[in-house]
Structure 1
């Protein structure tokens, strides 16, 4: 990680930037320009023995809309880049300065707090905050005094945190993404929600990732459901583009009774178990008007259980400032009684590996097998999906034979596991890595921009 420097204001010569003497060797050119985000200005540069700081004249600071804080330095040819400046793009702004992004305000405040320790600048913005004529954004930041809105240049990199697929498809938001990428050359990472079937299809041909995949079919016929049910006794019907466990049905076939059972969550958020004489009854009374074309059929894996409740695992991976994946957090999710899924919103509980496995060797085996799976899957998805991926959240399971299974990969993972008090460090670390990956993309965009789109 590059060193970061405190920004101090000097009221001496105009358009002056004073850099640490240690930075002089980073370029063979005379520096004549300074850039912050997309704001640029000519400047006079001096090198002095400074103790962890840079000095900048007030007029230059105003030209760049540069706030006080910490900055890193990237010297390339005759230019010094301050920042980097990261824009976190989202929607759902409320107009309230106390909670500008509604109930997600705390979520974003934590990212903006993480920027300090990472030595970067970050802000949150939406499509309507951009002044395209000036290239200035009326963005939001968060500090000890709470939320604040301020004028800031367009960023070096955009971190996409749009909340759902429906909003992502909005024409105005697509236009913003297109203009920032094509007109300004700004890299944009985690640009879209993953499609479950697409992920399954790209992992299936590769031996190193196919072994993690349950048997899965898209848009199954009733006959295919019957066949898989009789083979496995229990299957799931999952929306292809669902999230939070909504719209998921667990079908169970009892050969002894020649009866079908179904577990699902109702629109009233109740967990329901129903009994049917046939699959036709299930489709008539529970599946309703949903389109089978939008559903996946997946075998039910018999997962390890604690206190009779099934367990799966959320594993977060993040890229660092070198563009390499790391596992940043692992937590177990225990299903609530009678629940189809382990989601916290559906009565699930979060447990650490230490809480789940009393035996150290058992705990270590789970940790290593989940870590290996998450890293192999991350690399293969990253190689196969267009665009820049900085983080992935995996829902993985372990069966009684210690095999690991992939149930879902999320490009904009929720962070419910970090509500566990023992995962505070992992929470901060994963947020910092998202910002550090933005530093990596910034450097690529400056030093070899053609590599971004190879």
Structure 2
């Protein structure tokens, strides 16, 4: 019987680190363990390793004493973990899909403005969105007047880089911003005149698209605001499932919870019990699960071939839930840092189980094409 390969498409940095076991946030052993449990052999490669003419790929595969580089038939199912920005690379993905290869998470980079539009046009998710508008001097001024506390964030980008905050005060506004370094130490705060946007903010929004959004009054834990990362994935049945969730508290001096910016990941139940003592934590977790599934279902109507979402939710002190943003390439390591090792491993098992589903059914789940 021929071995059944499952392809895992990586960025060059992770791919090149496989021989030494230096793959950043990608856990190659977790993929290997999950695939082996399902009778699959993982093969790791870059987009440039694919030979369309021979339908083969040069890949790292598990050997007796580590990984070996070998040429294997192009897997019938590929789990994309790379960021593909070049048009030539996107054309290769399109060719694979049209030729019958199942590439899930084929497209995993969507602008925050596009994601907001996708959710805003669907009644079941519109109410979950904070007030949001394209960031222009006039819209920022109007939003600041109405909400008194706004976030200005780039439509593209990650780990909280480029995000800014404006707060209305009696004598002056308060402008909080980050430098280019992704760390808690890179944040600065300065007063700003009423009626005049800070020069840095005006310069940034003139160079690339930004959104302005009302700041959600997040619930607090240990005195610090927190948000919630909900990982929603397709699994063995092909349907959306909540794999797990954790809270992320914001470090002192910042207003973002990204782990790269110093945010601290924590198991969700203890955080919820502390900040909502009158409500059973299991009830809140159930609400959060339902929230995550609603967002995933709504987005997958637009994002074909999606199978993995990292959804950030804001929970207010009075129990309201808001969508903050969504990552189509969930980094997963937050579970490991929160001490949730089994859930972290499950985030690798789910994609391999979905790969097995696709190999068995030879068809995408029907809800992908509603």
* Structure 2 length-normalised TM: 0.89
Q: Are 1:228 and 2:143 an aligned pair?
A: yes
Deviation for aligned residue 1:321: 2.1
> Corresponding residue for 1:314?
229
CA distance in 1, matches of 2:102, 2:162: 34
* Cα distance per residue 1:387-440 (max 9 Å; x no partner): 211111100010022011100011111123122353111112221111111222
User: 1:198 is paired with a residue of what secondary structure?
Assistant: helix
Distance 1:285 1:223, change over 3 A: same
> Corresponding residue for 2:179?
266
Contact conserved, 1:318 with 1:328, CA < 8 A, in 2?
Answer: yes
* Cα distance per residue 1:167-212 (max 9 Å; x no partner): x221332232133223x31021112212222221122233321121
* Cα distance per residue 1:88-135 (max 9 Å; x no partner): 1123156565248x5437434422332112332221111332334432
Distance 1:292 1:95, change over 3 A: closer
> Corresponding residue for 2:102?
187
> Corresponding residue for 1:11?
none
Q: Are 1:434 and 2:351 an aligned pair?
A: yes
Contact conserved, 2:154 with 2:208, CA < 8 A, in 1?
Answer: no
User: 1:230 is paired with a residue of what secondary structure?
Assistant: helix
Q: Which has the larger radius of gyration?
A: 1
Contact conserved, 1:304 with 1:399, CA < 8 A, in 2?
Answer: yes
> Corresponding residue for 2:267?
352
* Cα distance per residue 1:125-181 (max 9 Å; x no partner): 113323344322221134784332223210111111114xxxx22133223213322
User: 1:318 is paired with a residue of what secondary structure?
Assistant: strand
Q: Which 5+ residue runs of structure 2 have no aligned equivalent?
A: none
CA distance in 1, matches of 2:126, 2:354: 28
Distance 1:428 1:233, change over 3 A: same
> Corresponding residue for 2:248?
333
Deviation for aligned residue 1:289: 4.5
> Corresponding residue for 1:412?
329
Q: CA RMSD in A?
A: 2.6
CA distance in 1, matches of 2:36, 2:174: 53
Contact conserved, 1:222 with 1:279, CA < 8 A, in 2?
Answer: no
* Structure 1 length-normalised TM: 0.73
CA distance in 1, matches of 2:307, 2:352: 9
Contact conserved, 2:7 with 2:42, CA < 8 A, in 1?
Answer: yes
Distance 1:426 1:97, change over 3 A: closer
CA distance in 2, matches of 1:451, 1:307: 41
CA distance in 2, matches of 1:264, 1:393: 24
Q: Are 1:343 and 2:261 an aligned pair?
A: no
Distance 1:247 1:285, change over 3 A: closer
Distance 1:118 1:187, change over 3 A: same
The higher-RCO structure (CA 8 Å, 6+ apart) is 2
Selected match of 1:141 from 54, 58, 61: 61
CA distance in 2, matches of 1:246, 1:292: 15
CA distance in 2, matches of 1:245, 1:422: 23
Q: Which 5+ residue runs of structure 1 have no aligned equivalent?
A: 1-55, 57-63, 67-82
CA distance in 1, matches of 2:270, 2:365: 46
User: 1:288 is paired with a residue of what secondary structure?
Assistant: helix
Q: Give the length in aligned residue pairs.
A: 362
CA distance in 1, matches of 2:30, 2:278: 33
CA distance in 2, matches of 1:407, 1:179: 34
> Corresponding residue for 2:306?
389
* Cα distance per residue 1:260-281 (max 9 Å; x no partner): 1111211244111111114535
Q: Are 1:207 and 2:128 an aligned pair?
A: no
User: 1:175 is paired with a residue of what secondary structure?
Assistant: helix
Correspondence 1:18-37 to 2 at 5 A: none
